[in-house]
Chain A
Amino acid sequence: MKQYLIVGGGIAGIHCIEGIRSVDPNGQITMVCAEADSNYGRPLISYYLEGTTDAVKMSYRGEDFYERNGVIALHGISVTKLDPESKTAVLSDGQLLSYDAACVATGSSPFVPPMAGLDTVEHSFSFMTLADARALEQAVSPESRVLIIGGGLIGLKCAEGLYAHTHNITVVDLAPHVLSSILQPESAEVVEEHLREKGIELLLGDSAKEFQGNRAVMNSGATIEFDLLVVAIGVRPNTGLVKEAGGEVGRGIVTDSRMQTSLPDIYAAGDCTESRNIVTEARGVLAILPNASMQGHVAGINMAGGEAVYDGGIPMNSMGILGLHLMTAGSYYGEEDGGRAYLYKTEGGFKKLFTKDGFLTGFILMGDLSRTGIYTAMIRERRPLDSIDFETVFRNPSLIPFGRAFRRQNLGGEV
Chain B
Amino acid sequence: MKRVYVNEQWCLGCHLCEYNCAFANSGEADMAFALRGKTLYPKIHIEEDGKVCYAVSCRHCTDPLCVKSCISGALSIDDGTVCIDRDKCVGCLTCVLVCPYGAVAPGPDGAASKCELCLKNSCGAPACVEGCPNGAIVYEEREAVTV
B93 touches A369 (CB 8 A): yes
- Min CB–CB distance B136 → chain A (angstroms): 12
Q: Is the CB of A399 within 8 A of B47?
A: yes
Residues of chain A lying within 8 A (CB to CB) of residue B143 = 413-414
Chain B residues whose C-beta falls within 8 Å of the C-beta of A411 in the assembled complex = 5-6, 8, 54, 56, 59, 101
| B47 and A400 within 8 A (CB) | yes
Q: Give chain B interface residues in 65-93, CB to chain A under 8 Å.
A: 65, 68-73, 87-88, 90-93
A290-B68, A374-B100, A398-B47 known; A408 vs B147 contact (CB < 8 Å):
yes
Instruction: Determine whether the beta carbon of A377 is less than 8 Å from that of B145.
Output: no
A371 is an interface residue with CB less than 8 A from chain B: yes
| Cross-interface CB contact of A289 among B94, B101, B144, cutoff 8 Å | B94
Q: How far is the CA of A414 from the CA of B72 in the complex (A)?
A: 26
Name the prevailing secondary structure of the B interface residues: loop
Mark interface residues in A73-95 (1 if CB within 8 Å of B CB, else 0): 00000000000000000000000
Interface residues of chain A, those whose CB is within 8 Å of chain B, are 15, 41-44, 47, 52-53, 57-62, 289-290, 293-294, 297, 316-320, 325, 327, 329, 369-374, 376-377, 381, 392, 397-400, 404-405, 407-415
What are 29 A-B interface contacts by the 8 Å CB criterion? A41-B73, A44-B71, A53-B72, A57-B87, A62-B73, A289-B94, A318-B92, A318-B94, A320-B91, A369-B96, A370-B105, A373-B95, A373-B100, A373-B101, A373-B102, A374-B101, A376-B100, A400-B49, A408-B147, A409-B145, A409-B146, A410-B59, A410-B100, A411-B59, A412-B142, A412-B145, A413-B142, A414-B3, A415-B62
Supply 15 further A-B pairs (C-beta < 8 A) apart from A41-B73, A60-B72, A369-B93: A41-B72, A47-B72, A47-B90, A53-B72, A57-B87, A290-B69, A318-B92, A325-B93, A370-B106, A409-B145, A409-B146, A412-B145, A413-B142, A414-B3, A414-B142
